[in-house]
Structure 1
Amino acid sequence: PYLGIEFAAYQTIWRLAGVDHLHCNGLRNKFWEPDESVIASARACLTPMFDDQPCIAMPVIASAQWAGQAADTYQQLGCADLMYVCGGGIVAHPDGIAAGVLSVRQAWEAAMQGVALNDYAISHEELRRALKHFG
């Protein structure tokens, strides 16, 4: 908003310049942006610009992300064509970084299989611990 230009126009300029990924923020992020705006930005990046050369950019979903937002991100965006970047959602996992990575992978597996996170967490310890710790 402080640039005086909507993200839809902003991302178009960068895609024409050859950028292949753009930060779109994340759901329930640590900044001001509403979730609807985040999803609209990600969809804009995935919308082809031309029939013969789509120039699609990978949306980067980041900003206070952890396993708990994966299902909502997948459901609202309708695909997993994105970079899902977690910082504290991985390194602050109570069982360490490796468990943090696994918890995020497990959350995306659950989302893409249409399984509720709490149900998937029953048989996936890292996800269960992340939901308890961060949720």
Structure 2
Amino acid sequence: MAVERTYIMLKPDCVRRGLMGRVISRIEDKGYKIVDAKMMHLTSDKLREHYAHLVDKPFYPNLEAFMMSGPVLAMIVEGENAILGMRNLMGATKFEDAAAGTIRGDFANTTTENLIHGSDSPETAGAEIKRFFG
């Protein structure tokens, strides 16, 4: 097993609904360590960079508007196999596919407003950590 760092973002709906503490507790209860965190407001430019693979999709304007609707909590999470472990803890992207016991399965009620983002590979984690933490 390898200690990894991954990028995790609690989205505006998570912040707005007062779920940050519950989500952070799940991350820490799983044995992961939050090694850096900051509240931030995302810009259109930053979102276009982050979601470059989605910018041409018809739903992108709604996604961008949602992600700019309030602050997010950006975090660097560290631990054994943190990338896959956090992906499992978050649950499926589509809220209706997310299993009970996962963050999205227990708290999300739409696919756009699905509470949390996490890197999907070591390469993506490195790029996202650099993008949001320098």
State TM-score, norm by structure 1.
0.24
Kindly indicate which of the two structures has a greater share of residues assigned to helix: 1
The structure with the larger Rg is 1
Ranked by relative contact order (alpha carbons within 8 Å, sequence separation 6 or more), the top structure is 2
State TM-score, norm by structure 2.
0.24
